[in-house]
Chains A and B, each alone.
Chain A
Amino acid sequence: MPYGPHTADDRARMLGALGLTSVDQLFEDIPVGLRASHLDLPDPEPELELAARLSGLAARNRTDLASFLGAGVYRHWSPPAVDQLLLRGEWYTAYTPYQPEISQGTLQSIYEYESLLAELVDLDVVSASHYDGAAATAEAALMTCRATRRERVLVSRGVHPHYRATTRTYFEGGLELEEIPLVAEGEAAGTTDLAALERMLADTERPVAGVIAAQPDFLGLLEPMPEIGRLAHAAGALFVAVVEPVSLAVLAPPGAYGADIAAGEGQPLGIAPQYGGPYLGILASTDALVRQIPGRLVGMTTDLDGRRAFVMTMRAREQDIRRDKAASNICTNQALLALAASIYLATLGPHGLRDVAALGAARAAELEAALAAVGVSRLHPGPYLNEFVVGVPDARTVHRRLLASGVLAGLVLADAEPDDASLADGLLVCATELTTPAEIATFAGALSTVLADFDIPPVTAEPVR
């Protein structure tokens, strides 16, 4: 189906049918002062000059770095088939396929996305889709309030700070969001404090709608998800798991540890780190919550002639029917990026995805050993998958100097989590299957050189093992 703009003839014919002579007449009901004014755009440029200018801007991107940055967005190899298939014009709309008779291809692609993700998270229902992991997490939090008719949600400080901030914004309408602290020291340091969670849940005057925790957590650590879920359910609350989809090839999925809702960022599934997002928000739930889940749901059925057909289903959750009581305000979906995720998953297959996750974990273990060899160790003793925190003195300065040496040394946690003094020296570093042994050696070598310039000893306290 072509999505090209209307020709002048098309417009003239439509205006003729309406008995109008100009498009402006369609906007006459809007007071002049409220209409879009002239856009302050630079003059047109010749194509060659424009291409040169844009190339110059693009060249400012540092693509030469050995990158150890993850923190919610992960570099992965995407088979060329993913981008090649996305280039097909048929997919180039984010709009909702309300007319199944002309949208079977789009509907089938959404159905396949939902089926693939449902298998990955091991839950009954997946909606397609949301702007990003933060929006999906916030929507999950709202779902718990609607389903339980309670107004207080607990979110672990192990959930990505951007997700917490977005959820807080969504909750400004009068819902309560409280943060569960992380364990400060010992074996479980950096994971959700279960004793604190239990205390917060015990306040029966303010019953809790939902408990949100991330696996792995923001610091890369593995959380005791079954225990968090058990505590939540014992208090009558729902349990939301924030997940990283590639990790689900090797970690237990949310459905296996009793999560009612799963939310996450779909970017690692074949979508390049670009523009800082938005990417693809994954949202899934149990069948019991199907009427609370926002986003498109596509079902498979048969048409009048008994042929397989795809249609949007459970439409009564949505704005066109439920209006102000709709499950969400979203009106377009990230269908193109959901399609990228589907093609990526279908191309790699379950074994391929497991290889991606396992290789990333193996590279991260190599990274840990290489950094330890130059005297830089982890701040937390617990198990991790492919991302972890190391402690260095004056992390911000070290990070800046490493950048000058061609190394992007992950994320400075003093910037991401300024309120957490225990992370003041922390760099959150990550490895994926794209991380090479040579890059790891470069990082370790450059770090050793940078630390040698410091007067204070580089070795931080050895964590408890």
Chain B
Amino acid sequence: MVPSDLRYTKDHEWVRLDGDEATIGITAYAADQLGDIVFVELPETGRTLDQFATFGVVESVKAVSDLFAPLSGEVTGTNPDLGPSPELVNSDPFGGGWMIRLRVADAGQVDALLDADAYDALIAAG
């Protein structure tokens, strides 16, 4: 079971919404599928993202994958620990492996994202 207080995308990002601030990362399932993560490319603070736009790249020893913004908003911060320790995405995907914070433009967009049950069903279906 994935954390029930988060929302999810079909592309395996998670969102924690707190007021108008969203914290975003990738799920444990995505991290496992990618394998050992060696590099995470994140956007500069202040960049404005449209919902589902590419905001970065995650690179593992065997694959590279784009990261998509689950919500529209302005980047207010990125996880400074991922530079020296990208493996945090594997070891603590829903916590210390978070990637970016957004000031969301439209909190209503979150309603269209998957809840924990729906996301669990998605990964169970493979």
Q: Which residues of A are interface residues toward B (Cβ below 8 A)?
A: 291, 316, 321-322, 325
Interface of B is mostly: strand
Given the complex of chains A and B, what is the CA–CA distance between A357 and B36 in angstroms? 48
| Most B CB within 10 A of own CB, among A316, A321, A325 | A316
Please give 14 more A-B residue pairs, beta carbons under 8 A apart, in addition to A291-B41, A325-B64.
A291-B39, A291-B59, A316-B38, A316-B39, A316-B59, A316-B60, A316-B63, A316-B64, A321-B62, A321-B63, A321-B64, A322-B64, A325-B57, A325-B66
Which residues B17-44 have CB closer than 8 A to chain A? Answer: 38-39, 41
Interface of A is mostly: helix
Which residues B91-124 have CB closer than 8 A to chain A? Answer: none
Given the complex of chains A and B, what is the CA–CA distance between A238 and B62 in angstroms? 30
- The 5 A-B residue pairs whose C-beta atoms are closest, nearest first, are A316-B59, A316-B64, A322-B64, A321-B64, A321-B63
Q: Which A residues are in CB contact (< 8 Å) with B64?
A: 316, 321-322, 325
Q: Which B residues are in CB contact (< 8 Å) with A322?
A: 64
Given the complex of chains A and B, what is the CA–CA distance between A316 and B40 in angstroms? 12
Given the complex of chains A and B, what is the CA–CA distance between A321 and B38 in angstroms? 14
Q: Mask for B46-66, Cβ within 8 A of A = 1, else 0? A: 000000000001011011101
Q: Give the shortest distance, in Å, between A158 (CB) and chain B (any CB).
A: 32
Q: Give the shortest distance, in Å, between A258 (CB) and chain B (any CB).
A: 21
Q: Give the shortest distance, in Å, between A313 (CB) and chain B (any CB).
A: 11
**16 A-B interface contacts by CB (under 8 A):** A291-B39, A291-B41, A291-B59, A316-B38, A316-B39, A316-B59, A316-B60, A316-B63, A316-B64, A321-B62, A321-B63, A321-B64, A322-B64, A325-B57, A325-B64, A325-B66
Q: Which residue of A lies closest to B63 (CB)?
A: A321
Given the complex of chains A and B, what is the CA–CA distance between A291 and B39 in angstroms? 10
A-B contact count (CB 8 A): 16
Given the complex of chains A and B, what is the CA–CA distance between A291 and B56 in angstroms? 13
Q: Which A residues are in CB contact (< 8 Å) with B38?
A: 316
Given the complex of chains A and B, what is the CA–CA distance between A291 and B42 in angstroms? 13
Q: Give the shortest distance, in Å, between A324 (CB) and chain B (any CB).
A: 11
Q: Which A residues are in CB contact (< 8 Å) with B59?
A: 291, 316
Q: Give the shortest distance, in Å, between A336 (CB) and chain B (any CB).
A: 30
Q: Which A residues are in CB contact (< 8 Å) with B57?
A: 325
Q: Give the shortest distance, in Å, between A458 (CB) and chain B (any CB).
A: 59
Q: Give the shortest distance, in Å, between B84 (CB) and chain A (any CB).
A: 14
Q: Give the shortest distance, in Å, between B48 (CB) and chain A (any CB).
A: 12
Given the complex of chains A and B, what is the CA–CA distance between A291 and B57 in angstroms? 11
Given the complex of chains A and B, what is the CA–CA distance between A155 and B60 in angstroms? 35
Q: Which A residues are in CB contact (< 8 Å) with B60?
A: 316
Q: Give the shortest distance, in Å, between A429 (CB) and chain B (any CB).
A: 48
Q: Give the shortest distance, in Å, between B31 (CB) and chain A (any CB).
A: 16
Given the complex of chains A and B, what is the CA–CA distance between A110 and B94 in angstroms? 41
Given the complex of chains A and B, what is the CA–CA distance between A321 and B64 in angstroms? 7
Q: Which residue of B lies closest to A326 (CB)?
A: B64
Q: Which B residues are in CB contact (< 8 Å) with A316?
A: 38-39, 59-60, 63-64
Q: Give the shortest distance, in Å, between B89 (CB) and chain A (any CB).
A: 15
Q: Which A residues are in CB contact (< 8 Å) with B66?
A: 325
Q: Give the shortest distance, in Å, between A298 (CB) and chain B (any CB).
A: 17
Q: Give the shortest distance, in Å, between B40 (CB) and chain A (any CB).
A: 11
Given the complex of chains A and B, what is the CA–CA distance between A322 and B60 in angstroms? 11
Q: Which B residues are in CB contact (< 8 Å) with A325?
A: 57, 64, 66
Given the complex of chains A and B, what is the CA–CA distance between A321 and B35 in angstroms? 14
Given the complex of chains A and B, what is the CA–CA distance between A316 and B63 in angstroms? 7
Q: Which B residues are in CB contact (< 8 Å) with A321?
A: 62-64
Given the complex of chains A and B, what is the CA–CA distance between A321 and B63 in angstroms? 6
Q: Which residue of A lies closest to B43 (CB)?
A: A149
Q: Which A residues are in CB contact (< 8 Å) with B41?
A: 291
Given the complex of chains A and B, what is the CA–CA distance between A61 and B60 in angstroms? 53
Given the complex of chains A and B, what is the CA–CA distance between A291 and B41 in angstroms? 10
Q: Which residue of B lies closest to A323 (CB)?
A: B64
Given the complex of chains A and B, what is the CA–CA distance between A322 and B39 in angstroms? 14
Q: Give the shortest distance, in Å, between B82 (CB) and chain A (any CB).
A: 14
Q: Give the shortest distance, in Å, between A319 (CB) and chain B (any CB).
A: 11
Given the complex of chains A and B, what is the CA–CA distance between A325 and B56 in angstroms? 12
Q: Which A residues are in CB contact (< 8 Å) with B63?
A: 316, 321
Q: Which residue of A lies closest to B66 (CB)?
A: A325
Q: Which residue of B lies closest to A290 (CB)?
A: B39
Q: Give the shortest distance, in Å, between B34 (CB) and chain A (any CB).
A: 11
Given the complex of chains A and B, what is the CA–CA distance between A322 and B41 in angstroms? 14
Q: Give the shortest distance, in Å, between B8 (CB) and chain A (any CB).
A: 24
Given the complex of chains A and B, what is the CA–CA distance between A291 and B83 in angstroms? 14
Given the complex of chains A and B, what is the CA–CA distance between A316 and B60 in angstroms? 8
Q: Give the shortest distance, in Å, between B22 (CB) and chain A (any CB).
A: 22
